[in-house]
Amino acid sequence: MELFKNALAAAAFSPEKMKKVNLFDTERMFCDVYGLKAGQEQTAHAHAGSDKVYFVLDGIGRFRIGDEERDAGTGEAVLAPAGAPHAVRNNGPGQLTLLVFMAPKPS
């Protein structure tokens, strides 16, 4: 397993939909890079037994966690606790790059 990776260099974007690139995947967790072009989103969903952390590498995203919704930008982290519905949308004109951790890994 490769132990060191450049998350920004791994980022990818698609004109059709949000793009996910896996950085690390173990029995206990995974870590992905999400690339969202302007107007793209990850629709609301929940994970019953897993917590998720979004870390904004670049850009500004509109995050909804449960009933709370707000913007988070470069350098900010957002927690989606297990069972909480969550979503993210790129409302800005530029690209949005997120580092996403999830543990424990869903089965």
pLDDT in tens, 13-55: 999 999 999 999 999 999 999 999 999 999 999 999 999 999 9
Q: Does any domain span residue 46?
A: yes
Q: Does any domain span residue 70?
A: yes
Q: Does any domain span residue 12?
A: no
Distances 49 to 2, 54, 74, 80, 103 between C-alpha atoms, Å: 27, 17, 28, 11, 8
Q: Does any domain span residue 81?
A: yes
CATH of the domain at 27: 2.60.120.10
Range of the domain at 70: 18-100
pLDDT band at 87 (very low <50, low <70, confident <90, very high): very high
Q: Does any domain span residue 64?
A: yes
Q: What does pTM read for this prediction?
A: 0.95
Residue 1 has a pLDDT of 80
Residue identified by tokens 């950085």 is 23
Share of the chain above pLDDT 90, in %: 95
Residue 92 has a pLDDT of 86
Q: Tally the domains of the chain.
A: 1
pLDDT band at 106 (very low <50, low <70, confident <90, very high): confident
